[in-house]
Amino acid sequence: MRVLLMTYGSRGDVEPMVGLAVQLRALGSEVRVCAPPDFAELLDGVGVPLVPIGRPVRPTVKGAVTGTAPLPAEGLSQRAAALAAATYDAVAAAAEGCDAVVATGLIPAGAGARAVAEKLGIPYVWVAFFPSYLPSPHHPPQAWPGRPLPPEVTDNRVLWNLNSENVNGLFGEAINTHRASIGLPPVDNVLDHVLADRPWLAADPNLGPWLEPADLDVVQTGAWIRPDERPLPAGVEAFLDAGAPPVYVGFGSMPMRDSDGVARAVIEAVRAQGRRVLVSRGWADLGLIDDQDDCFAVGEVNQQALFRRVAAVVHHGGAGTTTTAARAGAPQVVVPQMADQPYWASRVAALGIGAAHDGPAPTTGSLSAALETALAPETRARATAVAATIRTDGTRVAATLLLAAVNRESPPVPA
């Protein structure tokens, strides 16, 4: 079996696809990945070829968040058209001889990937990494920039209908213009078209459950976790061995408008709890604020190994980081910035495995208060209990389902 995996987004959109790629390859399948050029090193590290799509993501996101660089001059509709076309071209070139396409990421990219599957007549699957991305009567959609949802409307089904109208307004013309250029008919509902009839949810059923009853037929596979056997760097090992378990602080692929101020706030908050600090630089470019030996800065590191050895994890609330910390039994403080992160913050708090910070801008005081909750013995005990429930077979379930789809079978929904 040959499979094409497509994603256009940040590290949190790419990492799960890498996990699925590793599993598929272990089962004897040939895998190709289409993703932003930022992640060539990540794919190269597992021996999976990258077919790059479009512009690098990191400079665009960082410039937009920090104000250091403007967004491209063309409008959103033009950028959507360019992304749909670029995705189609990249996927079409890479999908020759493939038996299925699995896609995620930005809506125009998903439309481009589905167009390739249509032209080739092969199965197409859309995957979401958090429940609130998918239409449901149990949660509202996220608002699109410049198109706020009416605050007086509380019926989630009505809000999702409005969301579909917004998606059509933002991307419909661009996507249908591209479809016409390659000989495909127009689509009336862009969101339904990209999600397809039976989207997958690659999130842990205990950490991020799909709630029934629902109007959408969703298959929850469990989170897609990439096995990581890399040893921790010698400097990190030495720091861990030099004292009590530190608090890890990192915001992944989230840039920060005031990274120096955020670094000072979080380090002072951790010190106020009498703890050492392990700072992850990430896309926020966090650094140390002085040369005291109770702090250590790290770059890319094996979080699966590291989180088992820390007192708590302070992070942005991406699906991957939340799942990795939960699986390690590490208490969490989630400082949500955007997208799915408020959802994961709410789940961490609801499960009693940490604290949800109020808002995206931590201060020494606000973070210190959240850390008091996370570092309490009862939170550690609850995190340990929840860790035992986190499933690790998500990629195997997904690979089995994909093989069945290629073979035109109808496998049962996993328990």
CB under 8 Å to 289, separation ≥6 — which residues? Answer: 260, 263, 264, 267, 268, 295
pLDDT at 165: 95
Instruction: Specify the DSSP class assigned to residue 72.
Output: P
pLDDT at 408: 73
- The answer to whether residues 333 and 273 touch, using CB atoms and an 8 Å cutoff, is no
Domain 234-387 bears CATH identifier 1.20.120.1200: no
pLDDT at 415: 43
Collapse the DSSP code of 150 into the 3-class scheme (helix H, G, I; strand E, B; otherwise coil) and give the result: coil
Residue (of 369, 370, 264) closest to 315 by Cα position? 370
What distances in angstroms separate CA 117 from CA 27, 99, 123, 195, 400, one per listed residue? 23, 9, 7, 13, 19
**Domain residue ranges in the chain:** 2-225+392-406, 234-387
What's the CA gap between 241 and 196, in Å, rounded?
A: 50
Per-residue pLDDT of the chain (415 residues; tens, 9 = 90+): 999 999 998 889 999 999 999 999 999 999 999 999 999 999 998 999 899 998 888 876 665 555 555 545 457 778 888 889 999 999 999 998 999 999 999 999 999 999 999 999 999 999 999 999 999 999 999 988 788 899 999 999 999 999 999 999 999 999 999 999 999 999 999 999 999 999 999 999 999 999 999 999 999 999 999 999 999 999 999 999 999 999 999 998 888 888 999 999 999 999 999 999 999 999 889 999 999 999 999 999 999 999 999 999 999 999 999 999 999 999 999 999 988 999 999 999 999 999 999 999 999 999 999 999 999 999 999 999 999 999 999 999 999 999 998 987 444 444 4
What's the CA gap between 241 and 229, in Å, rounded?
A: 20
pLDDT at 74: 55
Question: Looking up tokens 């609330």, which residue turns up?
Answer: 317
pLDDT at 190: 97
Question: Looking up tokens 């799942």, which residue turns up?
Answer: 323
What's the CA gap between 292 and 297, in Å, rounded?
A: 12
User: Would you say the C-alpha torsion 148, 204, 312, 301 has a positive or negative sign?
Assistant: negative
Q: Supply 308's token pair.
A: 């088992």
What's the CA gap between 386 and 110, in Å, rounded?
A: 34
| Burial category of 281 from C-beta neighbours within 10 Å (exposed 0-12, middle 13-18, buried 19 and up) | middle
What's the CA gap between 369 and 286, in Å, rounded?
A: 21
Instruction: Specify the DSSP class assigned to residue 308.
Output: G
2-225+392-406 and 234-387, same CATH topology: yes
Q: Supply 14's token pair.
A: 């790419």
pLDDT at 63: 56
Q: What is the CATH number of domain 2-225+392-406?
A: 3.40.50.2000
What's the CA gap between 402 and 25, in Å, rounded?
A: 13
